A and B are shown apart, each in its own frame.
Chain A
Amino acid sequence: MAFAAFGGAAARAAAEPAPLKKGAVAIGLLAPGVAYLLLFFLTPLIALVFTSFEQPASSGAIGAYVPGFRWQNYGEALATYWPHFARSFGYALIATVAALLIGYPVAYFIGVTARRWPLLQSLALVLVIAPFFISFLLRTLAWQQILGTNGWIVAALHGLGWLGPNEGIVGTDFSVVFGLTYNFLPFVILPLYTSLERLDIRCLEAGSDLYASPATRFLRITLPLSAPGVVSGTLLTFIPAAGDYINADQQYLGSPNTAMVGNVIQGTFLNSQQYPLASAISVALMVIVLVIVAIYIRFAGTEDLV
């Protein structure tokens, strides 16, 4: 999905006339990538769309479907699972905003404040990337333990009376959003860091020379200049978070009440074997995300930013 979202600029660049000789080399270099995408991205995508229109086989056996054009699959998908869609986008939105609020100061510190100490800068970057050395699943499981009923956090909250005797953290909206925020935080920090690292401090000095208070400098200079990082960081968080099914899974940080679209797709596909319905949900999710992203990019106006 992300590929498609950024495809506009790439297509325009490719359309520019290039000398013929260079064109041949470019095609040669592009061929493996194009072939790979055709085979492993486009083919499954087309298969998915076809599956989403299949109808039940006349035998009536579970998991048996024949090709057809049963567009009602989409109606059923949205009518039955709209709360899960809404929940998915709600969670993804809150997690994205939270990751941005947490990630911006971190990225600013690494990219701007720590400039004078290159060693500290490298160390901080390593720390941001460090979680990737441990599996995503293991880290989420670790949080399940930490936030679980036997963990010290819940015990402390019980002791303080902030949580009722039968209440916990795991399985709530909070724990799922927390997990999403945690897992996607590096994807916000890294693009923001690249943007802020290039921020010209002299522009901020010029701002303060031109009567801009620290808050105004941030809003008028720092934030607009780091907008490309904000846009790519939020997209890299929002898109995968909306389709995430690990954090909201009952075995991890979720419960039946926190099921997201990803969990629904997993359940309908693997458990109840309703392949057309699962495919229809997947395609619907993809289309909605694309529309949201298109509106967002247009609104953010990244084209103007150099």
Chain B
Amino acid sequence: MAASGAFAEAGADLELVGIHKRFPGFTAIESLDLRIPAGSFFALLGPSGCGKTTTLRLVAGLEQPTSGRILIGGEDVTDVKPYQRPVNTVFQSYALFPHMTVIENVAFGLRRRRIPDPIAKAHEALQLVELDHLAQRRPAQLSGGQQQRVALARAVVNRPALLLLDEPLGALDLKLRRQMQIELKDIQSEVGLTFLHVTHDQEEAMTMADTVAVMNRGAIEQLGTPEELYDLPRTAFVANFLGQSNLFTGQVVSSAGEAIVVDAAGTRIAVPAKRAQRHSGAVTVGVRPEKLVLHTEAPAPATGRNLLGPGRVTDVSFTGVSTQYLVAIPGLREVVVFAQNMVFGPVVGEGAEVWVSWDAEHGFGLADEAVGEGEQGRFVDDATTGSIARQTRDELLDELGES
């Protein structure tokens, strides 16, 4: 645990127990319990203002929790000063030292811990991010992407038991981003560090992390592998934040047997009971757009398939690999369909009459409470006074920090 002398031998696990964090005027984190096993690549995913950066700062020791404990490698570090924690952070703002050269920036942590041969190790870290040729420059002479890589090198060079990444790849172009993602994965598998990665980019979270926690309004909505989260979202927030979903709300009319059946505006939709969080009352069920199949003629009803329609195609957008269709079905919300471009060009044009079907096994039932009759009330409203105030405050704080 001692923050001096040598590199961490391996990653440490991180445990957050009953964390609350209140700032004057709002609550950033409400009752957060989280356990990140040693050596894992963990992503906290959420929209801005959801409390993910605050969580990171709590782990780094830059904020104190209002209540709750933080344990790293089984040791309680809640009251340990940030400079004594075996943790390093890649800051979203990079926070490079403007008065030092790049190499001195990278060697800073090594020097503080009196690690032998800091300059050579710093050069190695810079080679990793392909910036060794700029070692003698000042941060102000680098581009945003280069600064970000220096920030990454400055944290990674310390080989901390726990590496915190606050949107670390945001300023990189796609190619470099991929490269850095691979580098990070390499470093992780090589040294076995524990990575805690905070991002609002669902793709980054899904491709890099072993475990993703989707965070919303200061609490974790759902936690699991990227596949689990995508395949079986438990809340409307997760279903919509991680990819797209078609959601339908209605009363459960039958819950006998293997499937529950929901009556959504007269259409019956079946969902496997084991994939549904709630089995009675008003529930929301959903299915991913790529699971849907378009039909130009009414297909024969089949057991184990849900069928919607007829509806009308209102929008067709070609995206290369697939084509995205919007289908308006009377009584329901517009349905999104992703169809692989197996043939040349779109299958149907705008205004065509279509039916939509999917294998009932692909459906999922959400845990959200039914709020009202309409579907609108069911989804997380980001435009409440409280959340607007919170976001404005965050933006102001960011501005203050930058000026």
Asked whether A76 is an interface residue with its Cβ less than 8 Å from the other chain, the reply is no
Which single member of B4, B89, B93, B96 contacts A209 (CB below 8 Å)?
Answer: B89
Given A206-B91, A209-B62, do A201 and B97 touch, yes or no (CB 8 Å)? no
Verify A203–B97 contact, CB threshold 8 A. yes
The CA-CA distance from A224 to B105 in the complex, in Å, is 14
Complex contacts, B112 vs chain A, CB 8 Å = 210-212, 216
Asked if B99 and A224 make an inter-chain contact with CB atoms under 8 angstroms apart, the answer reads yes
Instruction: For A200, list chain B residues within 8 Å (CB).
Output: 95, 98, 401
A residues neighboring B (CB under 8 Å): 115, 200-203, 205-213, 216, 220-221, 224-225, 227, 304-306
Expressed in whole angstroms, the Cα–Cα distance for A227 and B88 within the complex equals: 28
Q: Which of B43-89 contact A (CB under 8 A)?
A: 60-62, 81-84, 87-89
Complex contact A225–B98 (CB within 8 A): yes
Q: Are B140 and A306 in contact (CB under 8 A)?
A: yes
Distance A200 CA – B96 CA, assembled complex (angstroms): 10
Query: In the complex, given contacts A210-B108, A210-B154, what are 12 additional A-B residue pairs having Cβ atoms less than 8 angstroms apart?
Result: A200-B98, A201-B401, A202-B401, A205-B62, A207-B97, A208-B61, A208-B81, A209-B89, A210-B112, A210-B158, A213-B83, A304-B99
Q: Quick one: CB contact mask for B92-104 with A, threshold 8 Å, 1 for yes?
A: 0101111100000
B60 adjacent to A306 (CB under 8 Å): no
**Which residues of the partner chain A approach B155 to less than 8 Å between Cβ atoms?**
209
Contacts of B98 in A (CB 8 A): 200, 203, 225, 306
Are B113 and A209 in touch, CB under 8 angstroms? no
Whether the Cβ atoms of B140 and A203 lie closer than 8 Å is no
Residue with the highest number of chain B CB atoms closer than 10 Å, among A115, A210, A216: A210
Q: Do B138 and A203 touch across chains, with their CB atoms under 8 A apart?
A: no
Can you name the residue of chain A whose Cβ is closest to the Cβ of B98? A306
Which 5 residue pairs are nearest across A and B when measured between Cβ atoms?
A210-B109, A206-B95, A211-B112, A202-B95, A208-B82
CB distance from A163 to the nearest CB of B (A): 46
Closest Cβ–Cβ distance, residue B311 to chain A (whole Å): 52
Asked if B83 contacts A212 (CB within 8 A), the reply is yes
Cα–Cα, bound, A209→B63 (Å): 12
Is B3 located at the chain interface by the 8 A CB criterion? yes
Known A-B contacts A210-B158, A225-B98, A225-B99; A202 and B109 likewise in contact (beta carbons under 8 Å)? no
Contacts of A201 in B (CB 8 A): 401
Cα(A225)–Cα(B97), bound, Å: 9
Of B84, B87, B91, B158, which is within 8 A of A202 by CB?
B91
Contact for A306 among B62, B82, B99, CB less than 8 A: B99
In the bound complex, CA of A212 to CA of B60 (Å)? 13
Cβ contact within 8 Å between B88 and A209: yes
Decide if A305 touches B99 in the complex (CB within 8 Å): yes
